[in-house]
Amino acid sequence: MRLTDRVAIITGAAGGIGKATALAFAREGARLVVADVDEQGVERTRHELGGTPCHSRAARVDVTNRTHVEAMVTQAVDAFGKIDILVNNAGGGGGVSGLMLSDEEWDRIIELNLKSQFMCTRAVVPHMESRGHGRIVNISSNAGKYRSNVGTIGGISYAAAKGGVLQFTRSSAYLLGRKGITINAIAPGSVLTDAGHREYNSMDPERRDRVIRETPLNRFAQPSEIAEIAVFLASDDASYVTGATILASGGWCSS
């Protein structure tokens, strides 16, 4: 198993990519702190981990709240004695998608998708640095690299935040590499999470067909397919990979 005895924190683990990543990490032997603002959802994830050879803790965490983030890291260290891996997965869109969103809505999306990754990374780095080893995986989006359709779940603020994640990842790699820590990003395209299903079902048939037709693999992704990339980046198989973005969009791109 590729993650035997590694201790990982996964945010946004109540469902979707986060939950799939928790299950994949558990199968690879990791010990986990699964975190989410949805307390019942993250407890359900932890319950499902009971079928794997995995020790785990569940934590209710608002990743936009510094106190919550620091408590999550303390919980992981107290439970398992170290932190090897951080998966910054928590995020989301919603609200007004164009330029007329309020200052508060802009700030909410940026804090949830970008600032949270900075705060979680800042909190775990001292624990990784002290041991000279760490793996950080940031979940971004194809919307952060290519033109975003502002009528979708994301919109302008979401695209800006996810683009920031990619630059945060590249810039951090230079500093963290000298501490023995790798940091990489995954930029998924359309994924059939709960939100992805809602977006898919809300599309008119013509637009849905066009999106699928423009995707070379001719379908949306399953959360488990993104999770397996996270396993690779968190494992020793990716020991010489840092500052990279892995596109997982089924081949879709738009400039």
List residues with catalytic annotation.
Answer: 158
Is residue 190 within 8 A of residue 200, CB to CB? The reply is: yes
Please state, as a whole number, how many other Cβ atoms lie within 10 Å of the Cβ of residue 3. Answer: 24
Place of tokens 């989301």: 92
Helices (H), 30-102: 39-48, 66-80
Three-state DSSP at 151 gives coil
Closest to 60 measured CA to CA, from 11, 119, 1: 11
Question: How many Å apart are CA 246 and CA 34, to the nearest integer?
Answer: 23
What count of Cα atoms within 13 Å lies in the side-chain half-sphere of residue 111? 12
Which single residue is written with the structure tokens 């990279």? Answer: 244
Helix or strand holding residue 7 (H, E): strand 7-11
Hey, what are 78's tokens?
Answer: 């107290």
Cα 41 to Cα 193: distance, rounded to the nearest angstrom:
14
Show the tokens assigned to 183. 């940091």
Phi, then psi, of 241 in degrees rounded to 5 = -115, 120
- The CA-to-CA distance between both ends of the chain, in Å, stands at 39
